[in-house]
Amino acid sequence: MFTIEHEFDATVVTLVDEGETPLKEDVTVNAFDDCVTIEQYDPLHDRVMTITLSFTQVRDLEAALDLPEGVYRLKLIDEDEA
């Protein structure tokens, strides 16, 4: 299950782990104008851990989810070449 909220400065997506145990803590994805942050509560350290990604890293992650094992570099296609 997930929720989507549009805040003043970000779009916030919360991913809720459903199903059989062990369940993981909710993951919150914040999309800002210049970056994306991913947050998850860490019960071991009793704090929220945050990872910040550039939009280039998000694009690469999106592509990586559909590719087999290997090393890749995405090449952007010029509009004139398309």
Is 67 a member of any domain? Answer: no
Domain assignment of residue 80, yes or no: no
Residue type, 31: A
At 53 the pLDDT is: 98
Longest dimension (CA), the chain: 52
Q: What is the count of structural domains for the chain?
A: 1
Q: What is the per-residue pLDDT for 79?
A: 65
The answer to the question of residue 59 being in a domain is no
Residue 13 has pLDDT above 80, yes or no: yes
User: CA 53, CA 30: separation in Å to the nearest integer?
Assistant: 10
d(CA 73, CA 58): 13
pLDDT tens across 36-76, in order?
Answer: 999 999 999 999 999 999 999 999 999 898 888 999 888 87
Structural domain that includes position 16: 2-54
Q: With b meaning 16 or more CB within 10 Å and e meaning fewer, what string describes 53-72?
A: beeeeeeeeeeeeeeeeeee
Is the entire prediction scored with pTM above 0.85?
no
- pLDDT the model gives residue 66: 86
